[in-house]
Structure 1
Amino acid sequence: MNSIKRIGIIGNGAVGLLMASVLADDYEVTIYGRSATASEILITRTGVTEGTARVSFRSSQVIEETEQDVFFVTTKAHQAEEATARLSGSVPVFICSNGIAHLDYAKRRGFHVGVIEHGVTKHGDVIEHRGIGRIRIGSMTNLDPIRFADSPLHITWEEDIEQVIVEKLFANAIINPITALCRVPNGALATAPYREIAQSIYDELLPLFKQDVPYAYIDSIIERTANNRSSMLRDLEEGRTTEVDAILKPVIEKAEKMQVSITVIPLLHKLIQGASASC
């Protein structure tokens, strides 16, 4: 699988365009989105990395699995199942959505998963690369490691991808709801009163997972993305559907199944739902 030449990216949001614009330097890239018109698009990238790329754009309704060597799914979590309905898994598919709701689906379909750590925003076909991180991918089955050309995306193979997914869940479950409701950048969570709320969420998450996620990891994310406005905050500001159900609802259901009492996380879930309804 290291002879990858063609990459399909499902989802033309900020992350999808970032990946396409960088990967186009080394691969034949096709973006799949909702538009019914096949075309070629020019992506302009600004910020910590700069560049332009022309890539093919096709409707996600006409995906042909054999046309690509690997797929990255960069849609919102609630769109992942519909976006991958035409794929069988015979070509590796990495779902890079937030939360843990897609893990069982990925296992059932024979797909794989990834975590995006880059900061990026979108303005039309212009994207601003706000922070460099990694794209961490891995398999919950027996897929052999896949390696990609060195690039600013820093795509790395993780042997324990579920640990990585849980770490990202902790960060998303803590940072996204607080910043969205309080309308503050990520860095605010390092100070009172936001830090106390963050600690309360962390304390409720900790007994629900076998994986160890030290709070120092959360602090490192807050520090590294201090100037960023979270995706959930931007979704509320722009009247889009948030990923609160993908991030918090599985946590609430897990607590109920384990008969662990939590109060802060369900309250935040309801508050975000209410804020979304009023947009």
Structure 2
Amino acid sequence: MRVGIIGGGSIGLLFGAYLGQNHEVTIFTKREEQAEKIKEIGIRLCFQDGEEKVIPVDAVPGDSGISDQDILIVTVKQYDLPQVMAVLKSAPKAVPLCFIQNGMGHLELLNILPQETILVATVEHGAKRLNDRTVSHNGVGQTNVSVYKGSYEPEKNFPMSADSLFPVCFYKEYRTILINKLMANALINPLTVVFQVKNGRLVDNPYYYELLRLMFEEIYSIFPLGEKEEAFNRIIDICKNTRHNTSSMLKDIQEGRKTEIDAILGYILKVAERKGAKPKTIQMAYVMVKGIEQERR
């Protein structure tokens, strides 16, 4: 397949590396310098054991050639989505779009797109962009895909990697995968920023764990998806399985970038307001991260 990936961040490079092994991949980047490096040398994929490989893919700055793809996978941060919406609106209606963003606030933007097929996805892999063309695969997980709009059959049509380290699972109900991801992001990301720790410390330190539980109770009261203890244990398992990882939000803080706190906790607070709830712990975490973000930027 001809797979277009919009965004050259960690997730864009990770998808490009794995799908590029058996598909015609084009990375659409913001900067010409990044596109030139990827096109000339390829994506360098690094593993924790020191192994690495280089996958040749195409890369283009801007949006030239977007209409020539069989599918477009949008990996930019949620706060950058408005900038690419005009481009996506002009893409052929028959070209499926797949959105991979944290939070759920972007769903409102998807409703204005003319495409016949829109997919949403969440990623459980650990990935870090080391430079313009290098991504480190720090934790093997899976990609979860669901149809948001249209009659698309992802099991038959979604581009799969030939590599067993990059599995894809398909779900009928998109809200399930998005809420599960939202809940994990809403707990792990802000708390690792507030305490300046890696993911595993949230369960190793009993006081951090207590606050994790308090925030979970508030979020679950707003999004009561599935059995409560199973939902909480999923969060704990993620913390344990990624114990040595630095959360994406903490990385953003450390590198002086804007965080996705508004797309994650900000979205939860808006939903809570509509439901008449007043989650004090979530509000406190939101304000603390906003304050830290302002100081670091």
* TM tier, smaller: over 0.9
The residue that corresponds to 2:66 in the other structure is: 64
- Give the counterpart letter for 2:139 in structure 1: G
Could you list the structure 1 runs, at least 4 aligned residues long, displaced by more than 6 angstroms after superposition. none
Are the structure 2 counterparts of residues 84 and 150 from structure 1 closer, same or farther at C-alpha, using a change threshold of 3 Å?
A: farther
TM-score, structure 1 as length reference: 0.93
Counterparts in 2 of 1:78 and 1:198: CA distance versus 1, 3 Å: same
Report whether the alignment pairs 1:226 with 2:234: no
Q: How do 1:178-257 and structure 2 match up within 5 A?
A: 178-191=191-204, 192-212=206-226, 214-257=231-274
Which of 95, 104, 108 lines up with 2:108 in the alignment?
104
Query: In structure 2, do the counterparts of structure 1 residues 229 and 236 end up closer, same or farther at CA, with 3 Å as the change threshold?
Result: same
Matching residue's letter, 2:207: P
1:86-122: CA deviation from partner (whole Å, max 9, x where unpaired): 1245311111010111122224425321101110111
What residue in structure 1 maps to residue 146 of structure 2?
138
Equivalenced residue count is 274
Measure the CA separation in 2 of the matches of 1:194 and 1:108: 41
TM-score, with normalisation over the residues of structure 2?
0.87
- For residue 227 of structure 1, report the CA deviation from its aligned partner: 0.7
TM-superposed CA distance for 1:22, in Å, is: 1.3
Give the root-mean-square deviation of aligned CA atoms: 1.7
1:135, distance to aligned residue in structure 2 (A): 1.1
**Cα distance per residue 1:149-184 (max 9 Å; x no partner):** 442221222212210110000000000001011110
Gaps of 5+ in 2: none
Structure 2 residue aligned with 1:32: 28
Change (3 A) 1:181 1:197: same
**CA distance, structure 2, for counterparts of residue 226 and residue 195 of structure 1:** 13
Asked whether the 8 Å contact 2:190–2:249 carries over to 1, the reply is: yes
Q: Which amino acid aligns with 2:281?
A: V
1:63: Cα distance to partner? 4.8
CA distance in 2 between counterparts of 1:23 and 1:231 reads 22
**Partner deviation per Cα, 1:44-87 (whole Å, 9 max, x = no partner):** 1111473111211112343532x101111111111123224212
Q: Distance in 2 between matches of 1:93 and 1:181?
A: 35
Output the CA distance in 1 between the equivalents of 2:219 and 2:52.
Answer: 38
1:80 — aligned with what? 81
Displacement of 1:13 in angstroms is 0.6
> Matches of 1:73 and 1:245 in 2, distance apart?
19
